[in-house]
Structure 1
């Protein structure tokens, strides 16, 4: 099953909790704090595996949660960091934030890695809070929560050659003849709904990967007829074989088809205009094909390579394969991959983080809701079972001006204040 899009949820591992502990060895009076830090949570990392060709695995697993770091231990022992969660994806996978639509990264080469959700840092143990004023603190932090986000994966097939053309011009038949691929073939439009890949053995020791891309129609660049789902796969091919029904068996004009498909490619992505292209004049075994071919050659001129073929009778197929293999040798893979990686880097959206101490307070009926990146993170990392930790968080809120702002908005003793998932009473 070929799947070229998927939506998943990823979450980096939470950091391990810091520990409150004290040295208790014999003959060591007033040993002091000895609670270690928690370990860092694991990242969720996408890695390209060239052995994969589809996103079908993400139909059966949609949630990826990385492991949390170990908690700190006594005797000043820090918890171990968790091992990153590696998720393998096929080459050609574009990764988007599903909530904002921003491009996170574009993975095209084998072994390429991308961190999509960072793990949280470990909470500090009480050895980190010792000072001359409080040499034996009973303060520790919980681990920082890992980053979480909804992800959309779009696969753009990485094939050496892509077959493009109107529906029912014989693309699937051609692929079935030159490779071991068995695409669905039928005498109706849009028989092919997803790309089919096949490895083509030229016969002289050379081989390449060919993709049968679903038929395009007028307006495909605007998404008509599943156009965007089809066109995105053309972007990654090194050479395009433009298949035409030279016999005009459905009343079509090969010249009009040729112009229209090329226009759709250019309107979708201007760079496709420069992509090397070979014309496969198919269905030459049918009447009127020879006459149409003469007119077509006269129209396009000598610069466009045209190979008369018949996928049904295999006429001219070998010459077409030789020409495609020869052209591929002039287009190395590395420059295309570098171009894609550079394009990905240009399209990634970088956003400045909010000021760490900035917060907002709003009222929801009788409830005061405090929102802010820093204060919500501090709330989650506060050990609510420790009186000293709660007091430290209270001082932090006072220093940030949260108390003052609540009073200005009319908060009084006993009013409920919510920060993140936690609610507590406001006390003067």
Structure 2
């Protein structure tokens, strides 16, 4: 029944999805050379379309002296100036190139990092985005209509609550709406017949902790647990795997870029090279979505520091570039008494502690005033771990920063999402 409902929904919403899914299944085992040839073909097509149909890109290309025929190899992409979230907002109408499409799909970002971005996806762009997710599911023998638990919104008003309940029922999904024990027990019971879980990793971890702490009986046979929209701390994994039988895997992307990478069963986050081109410049990621014709996304500064791996041969056999790590957000400055620092520092502080023989720690850093930081850690630290943390803080900030360490702390959720660094200081 659910398979039939799903397929009817696809026909109505976006009939291009099955073709996109079939293509990504075919290209899943392509060589890197095949992938790059395909990327260049689609890049040339996108750039030509943007120049012909987007007033913003026509003006930009003319200004810097670039013509679409100048893009003869992937390296030539660097000749096009990058685009930022601010430009997407300010030039929104001029960037859109929607005149050649019969139907578009309304899209909106969450706005958790500022003003929400509103744009329209052409059907092929939307189909490729969803097909990338479904290909990742297929690696775990999951189909979109399979039974799944959802960790997302909770404590909603009564109208939204029942509307979501109805929608969830149609797509064979159930979610948790509160952290009350009876609600969790109901959720656990439903998990017995579920194939996968997905949602905020911090919520998945929180529920796993509660189940463990209260010794609630649980029996599952999950094929996949997927974390989205926020950082997955290494410290989550042991508890989640103990309770649910699997670790949390990563899906990386955004509303405007589409799915950038998906983690395979071998533990590698493979880039969706058929859909996107990714550049990393001074640690910062820039994304080109090859199917974003209605709202061209070319060399978009997504706002993350990442590390790529093009050398490792994954045991799964895929040759798609691996996203080795997502290290933090770009642009959030940490203010000392005299100096400013990139928020990437916190990634290295806690990474160094693990490298030096310590355990992974779930953490969050808040800054309410210049020259002072509040380190929140979920665990209660041993004396040696506390000493290591203090040493790392001093190593990076010296005498330019005072700090406090709060152990056994709860995390602040910024716009619903959990971030490893939150600054309350207005940028001058």
TM-score band, normalised by the shorter chain? under 0.3
Give TM-score, length-normalised by structure 2: 0.23
Please give the TM-score of this superposition, normalised by the length of structure 1: 0.23
Q: Which has the higher helix share?
A: 2
Larger Rg: 1
